[in-house]
């Protein structure tokens, strides 16, 4: 069976490192790119064609929602990934916007917990 290709995006370097460590520990998953902002992630998606993207919503340059919109509208991208949103944002408005899109799931992170472990 082929490995599932994963891209990870979070502007917090420690969270990005933690997610990379978790994903890389699974033999069936392959990290194909990591980004600290939405602009870099968009380039990774176009070039690496991941199956799944772990995506923070609040990032510099281009936010996570905008990345998803761009990817879904981009006719040149042959393989549109599934998005799993990882966010510390707890606003219902943001969750409502997510539910309108093609989102697999949302993981609300508690940054202080992640940083301590």
Q: First and final CA of the chain: distance in angstroms?
A: 32
Separation between Cα atoms, residue 16 and residue 25, nearest integer Å: 14
pLDDT in tens, the chain (117 residues): 689 999 999 998 988 999 999 999 999 999 999 999 999 999 999 999 999 999 988 888 998 889 998 998 999 998 899 988 887 655 444 555 554 554 444 444 433 344 444
Residue whose entry in the numeric block shows the structure tokens 């040149």? 76
Q: Which of 61, 70, 71 is nearest to 36 (CA)?
A: 61
Contacts of residue 80, Cβ cutoff 8 Å, sequence gap at least 6: 71, 72, 102
What is the reported pTM? 0.76
Q: In the beta sheet, which residues pair with residue 29?
A: 4
CB 103 within 8 A of CB 83: yes
């Amino acid at each position: 069976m082929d490995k599932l290709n994963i891209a990870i995006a979070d502007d917090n370097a420690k969270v990005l490192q933690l997610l990379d460590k978790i994903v890389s520990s699974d033999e069936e998953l392959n990290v194909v790119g990591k980004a600290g902002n939405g602009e870099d992630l968009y380039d990774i998606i176009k070039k690496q064609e991941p199956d799944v993207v772990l995506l923070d919503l609040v990032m510099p340059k281009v936010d996570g929602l905008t990345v998803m919109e761009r990817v879904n509208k981009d006719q040149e991208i042959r393989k549109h990934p599934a998005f799993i949103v990882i966010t510390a944002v707890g606003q219902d408005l943001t969750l409502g916007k997510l539910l309108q899109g093609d989102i697999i799931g949302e993981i609300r992170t508690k940054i202080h917990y992640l940083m301590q472990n």
